[in-house]
Amino acid sequence: MSSTPTDTKGKDRARAAARARAQRAPVYRRSADFRWTHDPEQCARCKRCVQQCGFKALSWEDGPVVDPEKCVGCHRCEMFCPQQAIAVVPQVQHYRPHPLWTQAHRQNLYLQAETGGVLLAGMGNDLPYPVLWDNLLLDACQVTNPSIDPLREPMELRTYLGRRPDAVEVTLGGDGPELATEMGPTLELETPIIFAAMSYGSISLNAQKAIAMAAEECGTLWNTGEGGLHEDLKPYAHRAFVQCASGRFGVHADYLNAGAAIEIKIGQGAKPGIGGHLPGEKVSAEVSETRMIPVGSDALSPAPQHDIYSIEDLRQLIYALKEASNYEKPVSVKIAAVHNVAAIASGIVRAGADMVYLDGFRGGTGAAPTIIRDHLGIPIEIAIAVVDQQLREEGIRNQASIIAAGGIRSSADAAKAIALGADAIAIGTGALLALGCTLCQKCYTGRCSWGITTQDPALTRRLDPYVGSRRVGNLLRGWSAELEEILGAMGVNAIESLRGSRERLRGVGLDKTTLDILGVKPAGVGA
């Protein structure tokens, strides 16, 4: 039922195009990843699918016709077809199977033979590396310590981020104990889940607004990313990290002072060692104004921050930003989880950062070279464990909070991250999924059918920020409620009693060395 018998014209055209391509590049015959199928019997001929496809894969010739090469399998058409006449299914491999030369490798190779370019991808690493979350299990109470009923007893998720002294000094006055310690600025969160940095430019204003509103409503934080702060989002800035990345887009004194905290972006899990890439297609007039760059120009952030070639330079930037914000804003430093992450994080804390944001190799991106996305970095599970342990061994764990991100898919992953030692976790991809994303990974094209990673007004207006913020807020509320359930089952009623409590984790199917690095016992070993 791949296409209607009546659309011969369209079919002929597609065939002709394929022939032409084959002649142009005889070696390369690109296969489509998806097979777009359509049942003409069911079709109401409403043309809605053609309108809905952000990727312009469909046209109308007496019925919908697909250009199979353009279809990315985002499922927008399928979901909007009132007759359920469309089914988009993965295309089965048609080369002779080979365990080494997988279809993906061959595909990429052909493409590069044709273009000589660097292949791009969106979203996070999609290779089947082991997911350590799935090898970790959480504990629960039985008999000797009671579980606590989260429906009837208070459960506390409130979390603070930022530098803290090691001890509180208390004096006894006439009215009882008084605080004698000066506390620095910290961030108060109602749940240990924040939003990852996603810039205006990489995502649409509506998407960013939806996330910002949800953050405000749920008492948590969002992150401007490196794209500056759009006028419309100023009302939500007091719940935002304002980011200062290597491109310094949209960074000025007002910007630094508008947010709740400042984040220096050194690296990103999806592309360690590489700066942000915003294709010119996504630089609309409004993006250009917010970023302070010309319309249509590629916004390629430098790979390093050119004023940071070492740790002492980072220290200078941290303090420059603190000076600029009158020491009222805590400063976070975001790094990709790489092999030496523990030592780097310790240096960052000693350089004066109040938070270290660790982004694991599975973290998402709007656009990254596929080869970088898929092969650099280390898992966030490992990074949390080694950083937390290192900071504790050095006695500086109180001086900075750890934020962990990069492939956290559920409240269970979040709970495990916190048990390993994270103060809070950040979600990016998860929030986009809540907005409708189907993970087609084509964000870098700027054609997102869901109006998320695009600047085309015809597409962005599909995303109602109010509806979006309700959905993203629901996600936070749902995960928070689940975290409370997990705490209750473990017999604790405050998130700080889970934080860093690796005793409540057990490993299954993990080797001894990995268990040791995670600081987790294998299942079967008791208290």
Partner 1 sequence: MSEEVFDRGRRTISGCGLSGMMSLTGERVDGRAIRASIALLHERSNGLGGGFAAYGIYPERRDHFALHIMYDTDEARRRTESALEDDFDVAQDERIPTRPHPGIVNPPSLMRYFVLPRASRLEEDGATAEDYVLARVMRVNAEISDAFVFSSGKNMGAFKAVGYAEDIAAFFRLDEYEAYIWIAHGRFPTNTPGWWAGAHPFTLLDWAVVHNGEISSYGINRRYLEMFNYQCTMRTDTEVMAYLLDLLIRRHELPVEVACDVLAAPFWEQIERMPEERRRLYSALRQVYGGALVNGPFAIIFARHGEMVGLNDRIKLRPLVAARKDSWLYLSSEESGIRAMCARPDLVWAPRAGQPVIGRLGSEVVAGEPAHGGRIAVGQEATSE
Q: CA-to-CA distance for 233 and 220, rounded, in angstroms? A: 15
Identity of the amino acid at 162: G
Stretch that binds ligand SF4, among 47-55, 210-218, 277-285, 488-496 (CB under 6 A): 47-55
Q: Which of 71, 244, 342, 386 binds ligand SF4 (CB under 6 A)?
A: 71
Nearer to ligand SF4, 246 or 460 (CB): 460
Q: CA-to-CA distance for 389 and 395, rounded, in angstroms? A: 10
Nearer to ligand SF4, 243 or 453 (CB): 453
Residues numbered 143-202 forming contacts with ligand SF4, rule: CB under 6 A: none
When asked if residue 270 is in the footprint of ligand SF4 (CB under 6 A), the reply is no
38: exposed, middle or buried (Cβ count in 10 Å: 0-12, 13-18, 19+): buried
Q: Which of 438, 493, 497, 501 binds ligand SF4 (CB under 6 A)?
A: 438
Backbone angles phi, psi at 105, to 5 degrees: -65, -45
Min CB(169)–ligand SF4 separation in Å: 49
Q: What is the DSSP pairing of strand 424-427 with strand 401-405?
A: parallel
Nearer to partner 1, 92 or 167 (CB): 167
Identify what 438 binds: partner 1, ligand SF4, none; CB under 5 to 8 Å per kind: ligand SF4
Judged by DSSP in three states, 190 sits in coil
Residue of 408, 419, 243 lying closest to 331 (CA atoms): 243
Tokens of 281: 């297609």
Tokens of 349: 């804390």
Residue of 337, 336, 427 lying closest to 385 (CA atoms): 337
When asked if residue 241 is in the footprint of ligand SF4 (CB under 6 A), the reply is no
Min CB(452)–ligand SF4 separation in Å: 4
Judged by DSSP in three states, 221 sits in coil
Q: CA-to-CA distance for 515 and 218, rounded, in angstroms? A: 35
The alpha carbon of 145 is separated from its chain's Cα centroid by a whole number of angstroms, namely 37
Identify what 245 binds: partner 1, ligand SF4, none; CB under 5 to 8 Å per kind: none
When asked if residue 472 is in the footprint of ligand SF4 (CB under 6 A), the reply is no
Q: CA-to-CA distance for 101 and 478, rounded, in angstroms? A: 42
Min CB(140)–partner 1 separation in Å: 10
Q: Which of 77, 283, 318, 380 binds ligand SF4 (CB under 6 A)?
A: 77
Nearer to partner 1, 307 or 516 (CB): 516
Instruction: Say how many C-beta atoms besides its own lie within 10 A of residue 401's C-beta.
Output: 26
Interacting residues toward partner 1 by CB under 8 A: 141, 143-146, 148, 153-154, 156, 158, 160, 164-170, 172, 175-179, 181, 183, 186, 392, 395, 397-398, 490-494, 496-504, 512, 515-516, 519, 521-522, 525-527
Angle at 13 between CA 9 and CA 15, to 5 degrees: 115
Q: Which of 76, 329, 334, 397 binds ligand SF4 (CB under 6 A)?
A: 76
Q: CA-to-CA distance for 323 and 336, rounded, in angstroms? A: 26
Min CB(50)–ligand SF4 separation in Å: 9
Asked whether the beta carbons of 246 and 265 are under 8 A apart, the reply is yes
Angle at 461 between CA 457 and CA 464, to 5 degrees: 155
The total number of residues shown for the chain amounts to 527
Min CB(183)–partner 1 separation in Å: 5
Nearer to ligand SF4, 11 or 248 (CB): 11
Residues numbered 84-123 forming contacts with ligand SF4, rule: CB under 6 A: 88, 122-123
When asked if residue 450 is in the footprint of ligand SF4 (CB under 6 A), the reply is yes
Nearer to ligand SF4, 256 or 437 (CB): 437
Location of structure tokens 């399928």: 78
- Site size for ligand SF4 (CB under 6 A): 30
Min CB(136)–partner 1 separation in Å: 14
In the complex, which residues of this chain contact ligand SF4 (CB under 6 A)?
36, 52-53, 55, 57-58, 66, 71-77, 88, 122-123, 432, 437-443, 448-450, 452-453
